[in-house]
Structure 1
Amino acid sequence: MRLIRIFTLMMITVMYSNQSYSQATEFNNPIAEQRADPWVYKTDTGDYFLIATVPEYDRIVLRKANSINGLKEAKEKEIWHKHEKGVMGSHIWAPELHRIDGKWYIYFAAGEAENIWNIRMWVLSNSSVDPMQGKWKEEGQIKTQKESFSLDATTFEHKGKRYLIWAQNVRGGDSGTALVLSEMKNPTTLTGPEVILTEPEFSWERVKYNVNEGPAVIKKDGRIFVAYSASATNHNYCMGLLWANEDADLLNAASWNKSPGPIFYTSEELKRYGPGHNSFTTSEDGKSTIMIYHARDYKEIQGHELSDKNRATRARKVNWTKSGFPDFMQNEKD
């Protein structure tokens, strides 16, 4: 586990200084009802694709529009369904859509039909120009060094190398999930080493469950940022932030810094409960950073939080401070 640097607290103070609370970009929120763990991919031609977890946890769906607001009314298509037996048979969670070397890939988590919590990371691929078309091929499981509960894979490229970040139970028992980073040989294979970037250590990461999950990567002004989510998926769900210098050795845990407090969390005043599991995209003009995330508009949940269907996909602009850090505007409405 990397050490949190002494200057982290000072950096957090700087990163939230000189904040600007203006937000001109308007969204017709929620962008999608009953869609959790949302991921939006924007193509070079300006098409937006939304992929997310459905409350039945049984399939992968995709929708396409030429604007973020357009995703709200876009026709949704089921592109893959869970297996009736064996692996990929339950808990179809957190799909992400990526375009790599001219081919589409979907990373997602799935349990087994007979053992629903035996969750691992899986990959689909599609050679079509449009991911709404063509046939999706099952590429198999992403194999990690430790065979254990694994989910929420995301991938990014940096300086000619491709990396995967995911959440995994690396300590066993009820230790929860940490975020792990590895270099990739290809879009479906890790080369290692597998480096733990963060584990649940602060109280806000350990409410009901010990959770670091849902990583989302954004690069800007010489830094690589990883937003992630923590705690149970009720009103305690919230987001933290990691960052490293773009010239640092990303596979050295000491290269990464961690916010000691959450950077986006429940607001009773704004009726925003349990925000998290986000992705990043850009506005239609490419000038603004847009965060896509899920939240509920009420606090009290009947039964287990995973049985509540009403995590909705939302969009909001992210500003940037003068010191080069993302400003999630905690006290501002969407």
Structure 2
Amino acid sequence: MRRFASIAVLVMLTTMLVGTGPAQASPGVQYTNSLIAQRADPHIVKHTDGFYYFTATAPEYDRIVMRRATTLQGLASAAETVIWRRHTSGEMGAHIWAPEIHYINSRWYIYFAAGRTDDVWAIRPYVLENTSANPLTGTWTEKGRIALPLNTFSLDATTFVHNGTRYLSWAQNDPAVGSGTNLYLAPLSNPWTISGTPARISVPTLSWETIGHRVNEGPAVIQRNGRVFMAYSASATDANYCIGLLTASATSNLMNPSSWTKSAQPVFASNANTSQYGPGHNSFTVSEDGQSDILVYHDRSYRDISGDPLNDPNRRTRLQKLYWNADGTPNFGIPVADGVTPYRLRSYNVTDRFIRHWNFRARLDPNVTVLADSQFRIVTGLTGSGTVSLESTNYPGYFLRHRNYELYVERSDGSTLFRNDATFYRRAGLADSAAVSFESYNFAGRYIRHSNSLMYVQPVSTATDRADATYILE
């Protein structure tokens, strides 16, 4: 097996993919969704030149597009360049799907799937190469089709390095297994050539993987906390589309299918409350400061589709922070509502605990694995500019408000009393100016603070009071 990841690439991947322990806080980040309209299967990589590079499926399925910007939000308005177009005959002539951009051995590579002009469903994986420093310039050379032992429907190739070996993972149909696509893994001898016999590491057998179609596809890898996590998409590309997760120990043989454990339920799925449907085909990147993992994916803002979902052009690229549970596993949460992304509010002085709602009472709890219970959007205050309100993530239209000085998450009734009770002044943290505190709008001098694991608006006077009323945005 040839190991060919350069030192520079390994350093970059180590920086991006090997995290610190799950207990360590990462600063809050905020983005505005959706990011880019009519761009599905999004792939974003942060390069050492300080740019984010973006590519995705265009709904015409006829070209590969790319953008770059120094911030993730900046990709929304960045100029888009067509770097390659489909052939007018033969191979690579139809269904140009799911491009991914990777930097390997000081060269850029794009992995993508394509059909033939004379058989649009003869879809196979292909590779392009560019030696320019900026992949939006220079020449893209066709390295051809990735030769696989099975010459069958295959797509969604991705690549990653683990323990010095570069791997390729992809989705493919095996007639001996049945209809649909399975996930495969093989080491690479160069960026377009697999080595040895591929391992079939996942087959769609669970009920949520087989709605509409039997599908495991769109693998995406992130390595943290002594494990290799492979997210993948399942079921038909309508509102049933969702993300599952395979997990392997970092010390295991990844080519042994028994090294991988599949999540019993999807880890990311449609959410009617937030009006997000069919989230899937994700990739992972990092925040501008490199301290937060960012989930990149597509979905639609409506459930019902007329005709074949593949002919509906409105899958769009979205971003939100990926969180980590205390046990070191990723927590995808739910696809958040359009608009600004939410934060978690970690206690300043009880550092393993977050503000969350439980039966709509606001509490301070550890190990909140129902992530959205502990996420709030900080929006313009219901009383107007200069103030803020904290909107629930999994119950849009519900806000953190005080009643008898106790904090609840409740739906706005439009009354003046509710607006006042649900409005706060955002202040520098009373115990640490780098953190935040929230002063009641209608009861000056009272702040959101915790006491005996419940949340109140109370006056503060002592150092302990100030610490209880201070929170770190994550």
Q: Which residue of 2 aligns with 1:272?
A: 276
Q: Which residue of 1 aligns with 2:90?
A: 86
Q: Which residue of 1 aligns with 2:112?
A: 108
Which AA in structure 1 matches 2:42? P
Give TM-score, length-normalised by structure 2. Answer: 0.65
CA contact (8 A) 1:273 1:298 kept: yes
SS at match of 1:119: strand
Matched, 1:239 2:243: yes
1:254 Cα shift? 0.7
Q: Which residue of 1 aligns with 2:138?
A: 134
Q: Distance in 1 between matches of 2:57 and 2:335?
A: 27
1:332 Cα shift? 4.8
Matched, 1:289 2:293: yes
SS at match of 2:75: helix
Q: Which residue of 2 aligns with 1:24?
A: 28
> Structure 1 residues 93, 332: CA separation in 2 closer, same or farther (over 3 Å shift)?
closer
SS at match of 2:126: strand
Q: Distance in 2 between matches of 1:83 and 1:317?
A: 38
1:302 Cα shift? 1.1
> Structure 1 residues 23, 235: CA separation in 2 closer, same or farther (over 3 Å shift)?
farther
Q: Which residue of 1 aligns with 2:77?
A: 73
1:295 Cα shift? 0.3
SS at match of 1:300: coil
- The higher-RCO structure (CA 8 Å, 6+ apart) is 1
Q: Distance in 1 between matches of 2:336 and 2:170?
A: 30
Matched, 1:300 2:304: yes
Matched, 1:218 2:222: yes
Matched, 1:313 2:311: no
> Structure 1 residues 46, 24: CA separation in 2 closer, same or farther (over 3 Å shift)?
same
Q: Distance in 2 between matches of 1:47 and 1:75?
A: 13
Q: Distance in 1 between matches of 2:146 and 2:333?
A: 35
1:160 Cα shift? 1.3
> Structure 1 residues 31, 304: CA separation in 2 closer, same or farther (over 3 Å shift)?
same
Q: Distance in 1 between matches of 2:284 and 2:223?
A: 10
Q: Which residue of 2 aligns with 1:189?
A: 193
Q: Distance in 2 between matches of 1:172 and 1:85?
A: 31
Q: Which residue of 1 aligns with 2:4?
A: none
C-alpha distance after superposition, 1:215-254 (max 9, x if no partner): 0000011100000000000000000000101110111111
1:172 Cα shift? 5.2
**Identity %, equivalent residues:** 49
Q: Which residue of 1 aligns with 2:378?
A: none
SS at match of 2:114: strand
1:45 Cα shift? 2.9
> Structure 1 residues 187, 202: CA separation in 2 closer, same or farther (over 3 Å shift)?
same
CA contact (8 A) 1:193 1:251 kept: no
Matched, 1:33 2:27: no
1:331 Cα shift? 7.0
1:170 Cα shift? 1.6
1:192 Cα shift? 2.1
Q: Distance in 1 between matches of 2:174 and 2:50?
A: 39
CA contact (8 A) 1:23 1:317 kept: no
Which AA in structure 2 matches 1:151? L
Matched, 1:257 2:275: no
Q: Which residue of 1 aligns with 2:51?
A: 47
**Cα RMSD after superposing both structures:** 1.7
SS at match of 1:204: helix
Number of residue-to-residue matches in the alignment = 316
C-alpha distance after superposition, 1:43-78 (max 9, x if no partner): 123210110000000000000000000000000000
CA contact (8 A) 1:177 1:210 kept: yes
Which AA in structure 2 matches 1:81? R
> Structure 1 residues 327, 173: CA separation in 2 closer, same or farther (over 3 Å shift)?
closer
Q: Which residue of 2 aligns with 1:9?
A: none
Give unpaired runs (5+ residues) of structure 1.
1-17
C-alpha distance after superposition, 1:137-169 (max 9, x if no partner): 000000111110000000001111110000000
Q: Which residue of 2 aligns with 1:330?
A: 334
CA radius of gyration, larger in? 2
Give unpaired runs (5+ residues) of structure 2.
1-21, 342-474
Q: Distance in 1 between matches of 2:238 and 2:138?
A: 37
1:24 Cα shift? 3.5
Q: Distance in 1 between matches of 2:238 and 2:164?
A: 39
1:27 Cα shift? 1.1
1:184 Cα shift? 0.7
SS at match of 1:116: strand
Q: Which residue of 2 aligns with 1:157?
A: 161
C-alpha distance after superposition, 1:76-121 (max 9, x if no partner): 0000000010000000000000000000000000000110000000
